[in-house]
Amino acid sequence: MDSSDGYMCKMHFQIKNETVVSRAGTSAHEQTCLPMEEALELPLDDFEVTESTATNEVIKYEYHVLYSCSYQVPVLYFRASFLDGRPLALKDIWEGVHECYKTRLLQGPWDTISQQEHPILGQPFFVLHPCKTNEFMTPVLKNSRKINRNVNYITSWLSLVGPVVGLHLPLSYAGAASQDE
Amino acid sequence: MTDDKDVLRDVWFGRIPTCFTLYQDEITEREAEPYYLLLPRVSYLTLVTDKVKKHFQKVMRQEDISEIWFEYEGTPLKWHYPIGLLFDLLASSSALPWNITVHFKSFPEKDLLHCPSKDAVEAHFMSCVKEADALKHKSQVINEMQKKDHKQLWMGLQNVVSTWSSQEIETTQRVKQDRFDQFWAINRKLMEYPAEENGFRYIPFRIYQTTTERPFIQKLFRPVAADGQLHTLGDLLREVCPSALAPEDNPTPKRQGLDVQACAQKV
């Protein structure tokens, strides 16, 4: 098998804890997030999830970074499902995205998320369309050269596109990137 | 390109006689008869099966109907693969007609993409065309085209319909020629390259095999070797899929059902 084939994979588990709180007649939802676990294809059994009440729903988010040799840029593939395997539709994932990113996503330049076949697994994933990547990455690279600072392409790219689809990078990623160089 | 015109026409006008049968566990108000159709090789299942859907929905209640999906011998059929590809990959060694089972329940979320409308097929088709041009011309040709040219490409394909008989094809021959010309009027621009270049930047290709885990092989491949010799299909296979050429197995690569040896002089 070609060693250049492969993908980076991150799995993120989130408990959606629906708590109904009476506050002037309205109900509020609180989201409790488990800490992010970095897993390179970690099997589900190795991950401990505490299930407290029947109303808790654990959602497994999977993010894969692949390289598109056609566009010569990285591409973000993602999907989410409940632990019983039921997949989330794009609109359900969309609900988990923070408001400020929703506005940004609707403005573009990454204006398309579509469902596509994962080129290695052959299963349906949602994909952030890669054809505009160069458009928003070029200023980042140009600027870093101007101020003479090395930038890790993948880290920068992921920090820009990730939050749009619910993938948040800890600040330690930025620190690690500059330490390597 | 003129010497290849026969091959282009054979691919474009290729048909597969298909028999659609409703899945036995679907709930019907009366017996559902099988439905026969000649499917166009170059199109997509969800684009050309409106008649199939209508036929079976006539014997079903609205509440028992959700998204349609197709299956062959237990394998859900990926609508985003061209029909000819699906047939060559899964059923070419079986007797005709191709027997496809129709489902209206239990959509296999893990295996199939959803197809909410014809727009989804158009979006998929156009993204394939764009990715191919990214490889051939760094997207220059497709990006320079106007929106109406993209539409013409799509309309040419969308107008390739399923028919009931070869006779129907013959009587509409003149109309069908128009579709072919309509499509190629735009597509030929995507198939050109500057004379001094001797070929595209990279050749857009995908190799599908049933024997592998991954859905297809797609790699960067130049049309011309370092010494200036033009690459052939054999060179491509040797480079990216040598197992396909193992002498013991002797499989023949198929391009939309046509044995490739005859047309592999020049990629």
Residues of chain A contacting B214 with CB distance shorter than 8 Å: 5, 119-122
Of A166-170, B171-175, B244-248, the poorest mean pLDDT is in B171-175
The larger pLDDT score, comparing residue B2 to residue A54, is at B2
CA distances, B128 to each of A117, B82, B189 (Å): 12, 11, 16
Q: Which of A7, A117, A118 should be substituted to probe chain B, the one whose Cβ sees the most B Cβ atoms within 10 Å? A: A117
Chain B closest CA to A152's CA: distance in Å? 25
Residues 6+ apart with CB under 8 A from B96: B16, B17
Residue for token pair 């040896």: B261
For the segment A37-67, what is each residue's pLDDT rounded down to a tens digit?
A: 333 333 333 333 333 334 467 888 898 989 8
Chain A closest CA to B112's CA: distance in Å? 6
Residues 6+ apart with CB under 8 A from A125: A64, A77, A78, A79, A115, A116, A117, A118
User: Which position among A33, A69, A100, A131 bears the catalytic label?
Assistant: A131
Distance CA B115, CA B259 (A): 32
Q: Which of B124, B214, B216 should be substituted to probe chain A, the one whose Cβ sees the most A Cβ atoms within 10 Å? A: B214
Q: CB-side exposure of B63: number of CA atoms within 13 Å?
A: 1
- Among the partner-chain residues B123, B139, B219, the one whose CB lies closest to the CB of A114 is B123
- Is the CB of A82 inside 8 Å of chain B's CB atoms? no
Letter for the amino acid at B214?
R
**pLDDT value at A179 more than 70:** no
Q: Which two tokens stand for residue B42?
A: 């170059």
Q: Using CB atoms within 10 A of its CB, is residue B121 exposed (0-12), middle (13-18) or buried (19+)?
A: buried
One DSSP character per residue, A11-60 reads EEEEEE------BTTB-----EEPPP---SS--GGGS-----STT-EEEE
Nearest CA in chain A to B128: A70
Least Cα distance to B23 among B63, B60, B78 occurs for: B60
Check residue B259 and give its pLDDT: 54
- Is the CB of A131 inside 8 Å of chain B's CB atoms? yes
- Is the CB of B17 inside 8 Å of chain A's CB atoms? no
Average pLDDT on B188-199 reads 89
For the segment B195-230, what is each residue's pLDDT rounded down to a tens digit?
A: 888 889 999 999 999 888 899 999 999 999 989 899
Distance CA B174, CA B178 (A): 7
Residue B26 near residue B104 (C-beta atoms within 8 A): yes
Of B42-51, B94-103, B156-165, B192-201, the poorest mean pLDDT is in B156-165
For the segment A68-81, what is each residue's pLDDT rounded down to a tens digit?
A: 999 888 888 999 89
- Is the CB of A25 inside 8 Å of chain B's CB atoms? no
Percent of residues, chain B, with pLDDT higher than 90: 70
Chain B closest CA to A118's CA: distance in Å? 8
Distance CA B83, CA B99 (A): 13
- Among the partner-chain residues B109, B135, B215, the one whose CB lies closest to the CB of A70 is B135
* Contact yes or no for B110 and A87 at CB 8 A: yes
Percent of residues, chain B, with pLDDT higher than 70: 86
Helix, strand, coil % (nearest 5) of chain A? Answer: 30, 25, 45
Check residue B115 and give its pLDDT: 95
* Contact yes or no for B134 and A122 at CB 8 A: no
Average pLDDT on B252-256 reads 70
For the segment B132-183, what is each residue's pLDDT rounded down to a tens digit?
A: 999 999 999 999 999 999 999 999 999 888 887 666 666 655 566 668 889 9
- Is the CB of B214 inside 8 Å of chain A's CB atoms? yes
* Contact yes or no for B131 and A70 at CB 8 A: yes
Percent of residues, chain A, with pLDDT higher than 70: 55
- Among the partner-chain residues B111, B213, B219, the one whose CB lies closest to the CB of A69 is B219
Distance CA B196, CA B189 (A): 17
β-strand partners of A75: A66
- Is the CB of A114 inside 8 Å of chain B's CB atoms? yes
For the segment A104-152, what is each residue's pLDDT rounded down to a tens digit?
A: 666 654 456 788 999 999 999 998 775 566 767 777 778 777 777 777 7
ipTM of the complex: 0.86
- Among the partner-chain residues A71, A114, A120, the one whose CB lies closest to the CB of B214 is A120
- Is the CB of A116 inside 8 Å of chain B's CB atoms? yes
Residue A66 near residue A77 (C-beta atoms within 8 A): yes
- Among the partner-chain residues B113, B216, B220, the one whose CB lies closest to the CB of A116 is B113
Nearest CA in chain A to B129: A70
Chain mean pLDDT for chain B: 88
Q: Does residue A131 have an active-site annotation?
A: yes
